[in-house]
């Protein structure tokens, strides 16, 4: 029988290089990698299906994920070199980004199944691997809760119309979709973000969430809109990892409240949806308040939210 995981995360794990002109720091990053670590630190049995290299950086990525409690699919080592993103801080505080990302994962993560399957970010848009991710999600549809977070990187997703089309393919399969104001500003620059989420809701999801950074988050459901304020926090590192940890906590809450593809808890009313959003906002706040995009453990989060 295939092993049953709580969550299968499909997407990029890479090395982030940050150069502020004085020091150069490297750490394991990538949206999918951070989400997988966030889930594992909350106690979820998590498998990451990614594409890393047979090089020193690939070994570093693998060691970090393993130490964080994340399982790595047997077919994840597929490349000669691992992907790298580099951010060089300019004197005005902005950053120049250099992306050296090759994304071509294996078609099959191996003999496994999962209660939830998460996809998004670079992996959902960058070919040749994006089509593989979409096919994998389609195979999981109806058997697993599908979650999606576009996390748009404009330099990597191609023309806006193509990115919109690909986004809607994933949205139609998802039970939960989360997007930031920045994502929607790229995809739909002339539309109200909540109107976009209402449109998405009509295409399949039970829950669509807009994250607003320090201003909190808003959920759109068939029963209406739920707003949760942000939590004031002194950012340790420009909000690194906050959105990914919000997503991992949202997935964790959904699995705690319902069986695999069931989203009945969303229809139970605003108070429960508000609690779920507030928990995700708190997890993001804990993350951005410390260096390194380190998600909170289940114990840290429970202490912070008072449960």
pLDDT at 258 > cutoff 90: no
pLDDT at 1 > cutoff 50: no
The range of the structural domain enclosing residue 271 comes to: 4-297
pLDDT at 305 > cutoff 80: no
Split into its structural domains, the chain has a count of: 1
Q: What is the mean pLDDT of residues 181-185?
A: 96
Q: Which residue has the higher pLDDT, 82 or 111?
A: 82
pLDDT at 112: 73
pLDDT at 11 > cutoff 80: yes
Residue 72 lies in a domain: yes
pLDDT at 92: 56
Distance, in Å, from the CA atom of 277 to the CA atom of 91, rounded to the nearest integer, reads 37
pLDDT at 239: 54
Residue recorded with tokens 């340790």: 236
Residue 63's SS3 state is: helix
pLDDT at 169 > cutoff 70: yes
Most confident of 103-117, 209-223, 291-305: 209-223
CATH number of the domain residue 89 falls in: 3.40.1190.20
Distance, in Å, from the CA atom of 242 to the CA atom of 178, rounded to the nearest integer, reads 13
Residue 118 lies in a domain: yes
pLDDT at 267: 84
Residue 302 lies in a domain: no
pLDDT at 97 > cutoff 80: no
DSSP string, 123-139: GGTSTTTHHHHHHHHHH
Structure confidence at residue 143 as a pLDDT band (50, 70, 90):
very high
CA distances from 156 to 102, 113, 151, 207, 273 (A): 11, 30, 11, 27, 33
pLDDT at 95: 60
CA distances from 193 to 163, 166, 180, 210, 211 (A): 16, 18, 9, 8, 10
pLDDT at 236 > cutoff 60: no
Distance, in Å, from the CA atom of 138 to the CA atom of 288, rounded to the nearest integer, reads 33
Residue 87 lies in a domain: yes
Residue 305 lies in a domain: no
Q: What is the mean pLDDT of residues 187-208?
A: 97
pLDDT at 237: 58
Residue 304 lies in a domain: no
- pTM for the full predicted model: 0.94
Q: What is the pLDDT of residues 26-85, one digit of tens each?
A: 889 999 999 999 999 999 999 999 999 999 999 999 999 999 999 999 999 988 899 998
């Amino acid at each position: 029988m295939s092993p049953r995981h709580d969550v299968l995360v499909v997407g990029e794990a890479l090395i982030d290089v940050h150069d502020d002109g004085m020091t150069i720091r490297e750490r394991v990053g990538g949206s999918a990698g951070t989400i997988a670590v966030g889930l594992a630190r909350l106690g979820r049995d998590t498998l990451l299906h990614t594409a890393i290299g047979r090089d020193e950086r690939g070994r570093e990525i693998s060691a970090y994920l393993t130490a964080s409690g994340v399982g790595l699919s047997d077919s994840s080592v597929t490349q000669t070199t691992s992907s790298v993103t580099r951010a060089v801080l300019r004197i005005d505080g902005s950053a120049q980004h250099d992306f050296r990302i090759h994304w071509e994962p294996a078609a099959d993560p191996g003999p496994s199944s999962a209660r939830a399957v998460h996809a998004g970010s670079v992996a959902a848009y960058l070919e040749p691997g994006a089509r593989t991710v979409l096919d994998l999600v389609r195979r999981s549809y109806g058997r697993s809760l599908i979650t999606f977070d576009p996390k748009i990187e404009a330099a990597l997703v191609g023309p806006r119309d193509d990115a919109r089309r690909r986004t809607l393919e994933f949205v139609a399969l998802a039970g939960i979709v989360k997007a930031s104001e920045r994502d929607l500003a790229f995809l739909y620059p002339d539309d109200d973000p909540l109107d976009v989420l209402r449109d998405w809701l009509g295409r399949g999801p039970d829950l669509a969430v807009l994250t607003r950074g320090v201003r909190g988050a808003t959920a759109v459901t068939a029963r209406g809109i739920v707003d949760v304020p942000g939590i004031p926090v002194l950012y340790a590192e420009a909000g690194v990892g906050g959105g990914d940890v919000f997503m991992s906590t949202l997935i964790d809450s959904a699995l705690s409240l319902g069986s695999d593809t069931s989203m009945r808890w969303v229809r139970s009313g605003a108070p429960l949806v508000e609690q779920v959003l507030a928990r995700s906002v708190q997890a993001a706040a804990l993350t951005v308040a410390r260096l390194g995009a380190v998600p909170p453990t289940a114990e840290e989060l429970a202490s912070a939210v008072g449960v």
